[in-house]
Amino acid sequence: MMQRLLSVWHARNLEFLRDKGTLTFTLLLPVMLVVGMSFVFGGPQRPLFKVGVLSAQIEARAHPFLRERYVEFVPVGSEREGLRKVTHQQIDLLVELRGTPRYWVNTDAPKGYIVEKLLLAADPNARRQPVTGAAVRYVDWLFPGILGMNMMFSCLFGVGYVVLRYRKSGFLKRLHATPLTAFEFLSAQVLSRLSLIVFVTGMLYLGIGGIIHFHSAGSLALLVLLGVLGALSMIALGLTVAARFSSEELVGGLLNMLTWPMMLLSGIWFSLDGSPRWVQWVAHVFPLTHVLDAARAVTLDGAGIAQIAPNLLYLGATALVFLAFGAWSFRWRIE
C-alpha cells in the first residue's frame, strides 16, 4: 500500500513540476502581491486621521492645526465635494482656515469626534458647522462593496472553472462536432451566469437591506442596469482567462491575480482618497472599481444616469472587448 501511495505521490509531483505555467504562478503570485502591496501601503507610518482642507494653506502651514502629527491633510476643491466626503466618512473632518476657522464633522463618525478635539485644542475659536444632509453610516458605504465583492468572485470563479471542467472532461470536444460556434457557446455561458448573478444579488440586496435598512437615495432601475453591465464585464473577463488553458492550478493563479488586486484597490473596504495618483489610476482599470463608484454615487448621492454614464460606458466596452477576445482565443480541446 505504501509503495502505491508513494508512486501516486511521485507522479503528481512530477505532473505539477512539469506544468511550467502553474509552477511560475505558484512562485510569482505571492511575491507579486507582497511587492505590490508594499508599494501601495508601505512607506512611513500612515496617518490615523484624514482631514479635508478647503483653503490653499496646506503647504504654507499657516495654522497650528496643520502641524498635528498623524493627521493627513488633503485639499478639497469645493465645499459641496467636502461635505459629501464628510457625510460618507471618506474624510474625518472638513476645515476652512481662511478668516475665522470653521469645520464640518459627521457626528456618527468616531474618528471625526477625536480629530474635532484636536482641532479645538489647536484653535478653540473654530466654529462648528452642521453637516448638510443625512449622515451616512459606514455600513451604508460598505454595503455596495460587499455585494460587489460577492459578484466579482461569482463571476470570475463561477464561469472560469466551469469552462475548464468542460474542457478537461471532453465535453467541449464533443460540442466542437456540432454547428455551435465559440462565440455562441461563450455567450450562452455569459447569459446563464448573468441571470444567476442578478437573481442572487437582487435577493441579497432586498434581504440584507430589509435587516440593516441602509441608505438608498437613487433609482433602483439604475442600480439594476449597473449590476447587469458590471456582471457582464467581470463574467467576460473570467471567460477570457479560461478560454485556452486546461490547468486548474494555472487558471486559479490567473483568477487570483485578478481578484486580489480588485479586492484591495477597488474601494470595497476603504476609500482610496489621499493615496498616490498612480494607485488610483491602476484601481480604475478594474471593472469592480467602476461598479462600486457608480453604485455609491446612486445609493448615497442619488446620482442619475448622466452622472454615472462614464462608468456604464466603460463596463459595456470592457464586456464587449473581453467577450470578443475570449471567442477569438477559445480552444475546444486539450492539445
> Do the beta carbons of residue 304 and residue 222 sit within 8 Å?
yes
Q: What cell was used for 316?
A: 459595456
Question: How confident is the model at residue 229, as a pLDDT?
Answer: 93
What's the confidence (pLDDT) of residue 287?
A: 92
Calpha distance 246→252 (Å, rounded) = 11
Spell 9-40 as b/e; 16+ CB within 10 A means b: eeeeeeeeeebeebeebeeebeeeeeebeeeb
Rounded CA-CA distance 335/241 in Å is 17
Residue pointed to by grid coordinates 437613487: 218
pLDDT computed for residue 309 by the predictor? 92
Sorted by where each starts, the structural domains of the chain and their CATH numbers stand as: 49-129 (3.40.190), 138-329 (no CATH)
| pLDDT at residue 314, rounded to an integer | 94
Predicted local distance difference test score (pLDDT) of residue 131: 72
Predicted local distance difference test score (pLDDT) of residue 8 = 60
What's the CA gap between 116 and 131, in Å, rounded? 13
Maximal CA-CA distance, the chain: 85
The pLDDT score that the predictor gives to residue 61 is: 57
Q: Grid coordinates standing for 246?
A: 486546461
pLDDT in tens, the chain (335 residues): 667 666 666 665 676 667 665 566 556 655 665 565 555 555 566 677 888 888 655 554 567 888 788 888 888 878 878 887 887 777 888 888 877 788 888 877 788 888 888 888 888 888 887 775 555 677 777 888 888 888 888 888 877 777 777 777 777 778 777 777 777 777 777 888 888 888 888 888 888 777 777 767 778 889 899 999 999 999 888 888 877 776 777 777 778 788 888 888 888 877 776 667 787 888 888 999 999 989 988 888 788 888 899 999 999 999 999 888 877 877 776 65
The span from the CA of 151 to the CA of 200, in Å, is 9
* 133-136 contacts at long range (C-beta below 8 A, 24 or more positions apart): 133/83, 133/87, 134/87, 134/215, 135/87, 135/106, 135/107, 135/108, 135/109, 136/87, 136/88, 136/89, 136/106, 136/215, 136/300
- The answer to whether 124 touches 103, Cβ cutoff 8 Å, is no
